[in-house]
Amino acid sequence: MANHPHPYADLFPMMKGEGSSIETASKALNVSVASTKRAKQVKEQDPEAFEKVKAGEQTVGGAASALNHKQETRTRTEADKDRLLSAWDKSCPEGRDEFLKTIGV
């Protein structure tokens, strides 16, 4: 099989093996590398949001911001859980009983 260059190889350097695919995609779509990286992050971590971006229902920046907010919230929740478990482990049985009564368990 002969090795023929793609007819649009001059427009897409990645077809000639030049540059990273993110840089090439950014140039091809006339967007920043940062925007392309955000789109890739959304695609990998929140495929549903990525479909909204593709449909024009949401911007890449908006989807990335929402994704980052979810991650920050999850991180804070994990930290809160760790603090609560630590306090639970250090408390006396009466303190645990009072805590459970207070939260309605």
Query: Nearest Cα to 40, choosing from 50, 51, 52, 28?
Result: 50
| CA distance to 85, 92, 95, per residue, from 98 (Å) | 15, 10, 5
Count CA within 13 A, CB hemisphere, residue 45. Answer: 16
Provide the residue ranges of all domains of the chain, joining segments of one domain with +.
13-102
pLDDT single digits (tens) 11-25: 555 445 555 788 888
Mean pLDDT value of segment 92-99? 87
Which pLDDT score, from 0 to 100, does residue 50 have? Answer: 92
Specify whether the CB–CB gap between 32 and 60 falls below 8 A.
no
pLDDT single digits (tens) 58-84: 999 999 999 999 888 888 898 889 888
pLDDT single digits (tens) 27-68: 888 889 999 899 999 999 999 999 999 999 999 999 999 999
Which pLDDT score, from 0 to 100, does residue 48 have? Answer: 94
Token pair belonging to 73: 């919230």
Query: Nearest Cα to 67, choosing from 81, 53, 82?
Result: 53
